[in-house]
Structure 1
Amino acid sequence: MSAGDVRGPLARRTGEGTWFEDFHPGDRWRHARGATIDEVENQLLTKMVMNTAQEHWNEHSMADSPWGDSRIVFGMITGSLTVGLTSQDTAENALAELGLTGMRFRAPVFHGDTIYAYTEVLAADPADREDAGTVRFHHWGATADDRIVFECERSVLIKRRSHWFSR
């Protein structure tokens, strides 16, 4: 699968259109921002969480790998960045993050790769409270050359415009 298989229109949601009522199953879009993963993110976070996999921070040990001396970015950095890139358009009116499931790391990411995020709305259901609803999203992260590198499903409790918005 490539990003071409998941992309929709470029997101124009930020600021408007981020209330529960605005999300409809089947909606898809590409988020406007991308972010390049540099060595500092990989080195700092990988070592902070004590991930001892040599592929993340030892160039010498990678010399005989299929990737040469390119260090692989720690998957949780890729996942966090992908979800972060979606958040402005999907969680601007969030009350709570309810769940993150089905995380898949589909291809390696290397220092210097730029990640873009894509979203599809899977469901928008009433919550057990009148002022919000639950939206379930499918998020993808892809490199600039359209390799899907990460995907997950995320559930968010989002405010209803009818209860929170006042002019």
Structure 2
Amino acid sequence: MAGLYLEEFQVGQVFRHALTRTLTESDNVLFSTMTMNPQPLHIDFDFAAKSEWGRPLVNSLLTLGLMIGISVHDTTLGTTLANLGMTETVFPAPVFHGDTIRVETEVLAVRESKSKPDRGIVDFEHRAYNQDGVLVARCARQAMIMKKAA
């Protein structure tokens, strides 16, 4: 697996993920309807055209999921035991159909578990940018990560 073990993470380490993804109208409408989110800003083009944005916004939870998903291959693929939480999540700029998202991840903290010697917790900050370099999403995430087998 490509994921790193607890011992391989260092505070201050920054991953600039090579994967990028252009978000489409289909992505947005499918995600919004699959998650039972009828917000017209996401799925009603007429409504969205009359909003301050003038067009549909990409569902922020799709942006959040994509941001974290893009990070997985370089950081936690096969070594995550659990996501413990996502905090301080913000969306400082809108995402629209056709925007291409790139992501970087910074390691904020690394600590061993106090109760289970085979794992630890890594605190990440994920940041997503659009094709113009504008920050569109940021969150702190805490993940339980395997240690290398003894």
Give yes or no for TM over 0.5. yes
Unaligned runs of 5+ in 2: none
CA drift at 1:99: 1.4
Q: Over residues 7-59 of structure 1, what are the superposed CA-to-partner deviations in whole Å (9 max), with x where a residue is unaligned?
A: xxxxxxx837x111111111112111011111111101212223232211112
- Residue among 2, 21, 27 paired with 2:7: 21
Confirm whether residue 89 of structure 1 aligns to residue 74 of structure 2: yes
Q: Which residue of 2 aligns with 1:71?
A: 56
Match of 1:104 in 2: 90
Partner Cα separation in structure 2 for residue 109 and residue 97 of structure 1:
25
Q: Match for residue 138 of structure 2?
A: 151
Question: Once the two structures are superposed, what CA deviation does each residue of 1:79-108 show, in whole Å capped at 9, x if it has no partner?
Answer: 000000011122121122111111111111
Give the match's secondary structure for 2:18. Answer: strand
TM-score, normalized by length of structure 2?
0.91
**Equivalent residue pairs, number:** 148
- Post-superposition CA distance 1:121-157 (Å, at most 9, x none): 0100011211111110010111111111111111111
Alignment partners' CA distance in 1, 2:60 and 2:103: 15
- What is the alpha-carbon distance in structure 2 between the residues aligned to residue 77 and residue 15 of structure 1? 24
- What is the rounded CA distance, in whole Å, between the counterparts of 1:118 and 1:146 in structure 2? 12
Provide the aligned C-alpha RMSD in A.
1.6
2:127 and 2:68 map into 1 onto residues whose CA distance is: 9
Mapped to 2, the partners of 1:82 and 1:54 lie a distance apart of 23
Report 1:27-66 matches (<5 A): 27-66=13-52
Q: Using the TM superposition, name which of 27-36 and 58-67 deviates more.
A: 58-67
TM-score (norm 1): 0.82
| Letter of the 2:12 counterpart | G
Runs (5+) with no aligned partner, structure 1? 1-13
